[in-house]
Chains A and B, each alone.
Chain A
Amino acid sequence: MSSHNANPYIPFASQILEIVSHTNREHTFRMAFTGKVKPGQFFEVSIPKYGEAPISVSGIEPGVSVDLTIRNVGRVTGELFASFGVGSTVLLRGPYGNGFDVSLYENGECVVVAGGTGVSPVRGVIEHLAHTTDAADKHVIVGFRSPEDMLFRADLERWAQALDLTVTVDGAPEGYVGNVGLVTKYIPTLELRDPATTTAVVVGPPAMMRFSVMGLLERGLTEDHIWVSQERRMCCGLGKCGHCRIGEKYVCLDGPVFRYDLSKDMID
């Protein structure tokens, strides 16, 4: 095992290149980053005197930047929203975690089911699928709580052109034109040619992931073709602090992306 002399707890400075506002409380911060990174990995956003928060990578421009889509729900993210603008410097640690191996999904049929901020970690996966030659075989279902909670609107429009995209909201005011219903509602009607070889990626709140996986298994997908991403309290990102442990697995080291058959017995 390699040991580094550098102190992994010391964050590095990264400039905010751009801020895209999705909703009042959800912004994407485009951060300067030149290192290697994969979709599904996460950074610890470190705001001295406020703390650190694990944020998954929602987009990558290799050698230039990473996107961090952040919901303003806590002390750290609150301070980030309040006091940091384009040009400001933010401290980061990472990337941490295994991330998605997009090569697993690029050939053949693939289903991506994502809910809410769960869309962030798979945004890079969807982006990759949208550029494959058989993009018509890629099925993406994304769900948000309401039309106001929708993230990545511009991406959604682009993806709709490239692959089989279903966007749905849990609930909407009267007169809303678009799908209303949970993501699981759209799994039974997916047009799959060969479910036994179809791969799937499921990311979102725990209940949404559980029922989506059940739906996919009912469609005939196999457990070893489904990948899920787990969110836990990744406090250090280094496998030391213990908070994200489930059984013998550390989400920050062994995950957050797990193949379903290898992770279904992970019980909190």
Chain B
Amino acid sequence: MGFELSREGLDRVLTELGESYLLYAPVLKVGEGRFTDADVVRYDYVSSVEQIELAHKSDYAFKELLTPLSETLFFFTENECKVADAEARKVIVFLRACDLHAVKRLDQMYLANGPQEDWFYRRVRDRVAFALIGCPESFDNCFCCSMDTNVAPEGWLFSLEQTDDGYRCVVADEQLTEVFAAQAVGEAAFEPAHVSANDTVVRVPESVPVAIYQHSMWDEYTARCIKCGRCTISCPTCTCYTMQDVFYTDNGCVGERRRVGASCMIDGYTNVAGGGQYRRTACERIRFKVLHKVHDFRKRFGYDMCVGCGRCDDICPEYISFAACVNKLADAVDALAAQEVSADE
């Protein structure tokens, strides 16, 4: 059922939800962008709809709640190893259709890659529910339609989008119907808005021949890419982390083990004890990342990792477009196939 709400009405809904849930949503952080007097949209806890940034795509994805940038796993004392406490309250995460598809990718890695679940991910995942932010229009660099992620999968409690004179919400979770109905100024049957076309169109190759690894299409990136990893940190589907052990006191008695976000683009990712390193050049790292997103993940799990949110393209300081790279890849794969056909003839 769809409800129309005023700002005040929606705030009363959020206040009521706030009794059972923390609300985690994209927030415009004024002046916290990279440049002077520049803003950034990233996730934080909110208590009113005014705080939720609905007009822009978030620069950083919601995943920071499920896979924190820095997360303490254990505390060590002299004789003891204690698992770090966690927030116990339930959370509603406000996200878009592509992001909800990304949750499936995160779950895949943390809960279903290998025989054991990630205990810490499971602990937070179990207390997270989702609210869907409708997308009446495509943003810059979005290519969700190419990745078939423009329509949200199931798994959201209610949707939210702004209208000219208020907000409208579709309530999927029947237990919440009363809460919304009580504050609604109107009721109608509608679906959450979703886009059906993007300016950016990406063509994903069906399969990738081994020859692509040595292809010259990657070469340019060694000079262009600065290996900063922003593409992966802003990505809603990147999951890599690195363990970090520290101790606080001079005698080393007290310390912690934490995990921090890691990126296959950043130096140190493949370092092995004794100085070994794989993929030193940026072009190898880009090839590794791009093929993971549109090939390797699919080969393992049956569907593509990339959800087409375009955040990597939004954030790249060197104007390297992932979308353009995938299209180049598709062209290169076609060209290699054509060569093979002509060689056969």
Q: Is there a contact between chains A and B in the complex with CB atoms less than 8 Å apart?
A: yes
Interface residues of A (CB under 8 A from B): 1-4, 6-11, 47-53, 71, 73-74, 76-77, 91, 231-233, 235-236, 238-243, 245, 247-250, 252-253, 265, 267-268
- Cβ-defined partner of B113 (8 Å) among A4, A10, A76, A253: A253
- Known contacts A2-B115, A7-B119; decide if A242 and B239 are in contact (CB<8 Å): yes
Query: Could you list 28 A-B pairs, sorted by A, with CB under 8 Å?
Result: A3-B116, A3-B117, A4-B115, A4-B117, A6-B119, A7-B119, A8-B116, A8-B119, A9-B119, A10-B74, A49-B245, A49-B246, A51-B244, A51-B257, A53-B273, A73-B275, A74-B273, A232-B270, A233-B269, A238-B116, A240-B121, A240-B241, A241-B241, A242-B264, A248-B300, A249-B300, A253-B113, A265-B210
Assess whether B243 is interfacial by the CB under 8 Å rule.
yes
- Cβ-defined partner of A51 (8 Å) among B109, B243, B252, B291: B243
Structural contact, A250 and B114, CB atoms closer than 8 A: yes
Report chain B residues within 8 Å CB of A245.
292, 296
Structural contact, A239 and B241, CB atoms closer than 8 A: no
A76 to B73, CA, bound (A): 18
Report chain A residues within 8 Å CB of B297.
248
- Cβ-defined partner of A1 (8 Å) among B76, B112, B274, B284: B112
Shortest CB distance A6–B (Å): 8
Report chain B residues within 8 Å CB of A7.
83, 119-120
Structural contact, A268 and B278, CB atoms closer than 8 A: yes
Structural contact, B239 and A235, CB atoms closer than 8 A: no
Assess whether B179 is interfacial by the CB under 8 Å rule.
no
**A8-B118, A11-B81, A232-B272 provided; 4 other pairs, C-beta below 8 A?**
A3-B117, A4-B117, A231-B272, A241-B240
Assess whether B319 is interfacial by the CB under 8 Å rule.
no
Assess whether B247 is interfacial by the CB under 8 Å rule.
yes
Assess whether B90 is interfacial by the CB under 8 Å rule.
no
Chain B's interface: helix, strand, loop or mixed, by majority?
Answer: mixed
Report chain A residues within 8 Å CB of B229.
none
Within 8 A of A (CB), among B94-123: 109-122
A73 to B118, CA, bound (A): 29
Structural contact, A4 and B116, CB atoms closer than 8 A: yes
In the complex formed, the residue of A with least CB distance to B249 is A49
Within 8 A of A (CB), among B64-84: 73-74, 76, 81, 83
A91 to B257, CA, bound (A): 13
Structural contact, B255 and A243, CB atoms closer than 8 A: no
Structural contact, B113 and A239, CB atoms closer than 8 A: yes
Report chain A residues within 8 Å CB of B73.
9
Report chain B residues within 8 Å CB of A236.
241, 243
- Known contacts A238-B114, A239-B114, A247-B296; decide if A233 and B243 are in contact (CB<8 Å): no
A232 to B264, CA, bound (A): 13
Residue of B114, B241, B275, B300 ringed by the most chain A CB atoms within 10 A: B114
In the complex formed, the residue of A with least CB distance to B284 is A268
Structural contact, B243 and A73, CB atoms closer than 8 A: no
- Known contacts A4-B116, A9-B119, A268-B288; decide if A48 and B255 are in contact (CB<8 Å): yes
Structural contact, B252 and A49, CB atoms closer than 8 A: yes
Report chain A residues within 8 Å CB of B110.
240
Structural contact, A10 and B83, CB atoms closer than 8 A: yes
Structural contact, A233 and B272, CB atoms closer than 8 A: yes
Assess whether B230 is interfacial by the CB under 8 Å rule.
no
Report chain B residues within 8 Å CB of A248.
296-297, 299-300
A50 to B264, CA, bound (A): 23
Within 8 A of A (CB), among B249-283: 252, 255, 257, 259, 262, 264, 269-276, 278-279
Structural contact, B273 and A238, CB atoms closer than 8 A: no
Assess whether B242 is interfacial by the CB under 8 Å rule.
yes
A238 to B284, CA, bound (A): 25
Structural contact, A240 and B245, CB atoms closer than 8 A: no
- Cβ-defined partner of A74 (8 Å) among B122, B244, B274: B274
Structural contact, B117 and A233, CB atoms closer than 8 A: no
A7 to B83, CA, bound (A): 9
Within 8 A of A (CB), among B213-259: 213, 239-247, 252, 255, 257, 259
Structural contact, A241 and B262, CB atoms closer than 8 A: yes
- Cβ-defined partner of B262 (8 Å) among A4, A47, A73, A242: A242
Shortest CB distance B56–A (Å): 29
In the complex formed, the residue of A with least CB distance to B288 is A268
A50 to B278, CA, bound (A): 23
Report chain A residues within 8 Å CB of B81.
10-11, 48, 91
Residue of A4, A52, A247, A252 ringed by the most chain B CB atoms within 10 A: A247
A92 to B296, CA, bound (A): 31
A7 to B296, CA, bound (A): 28
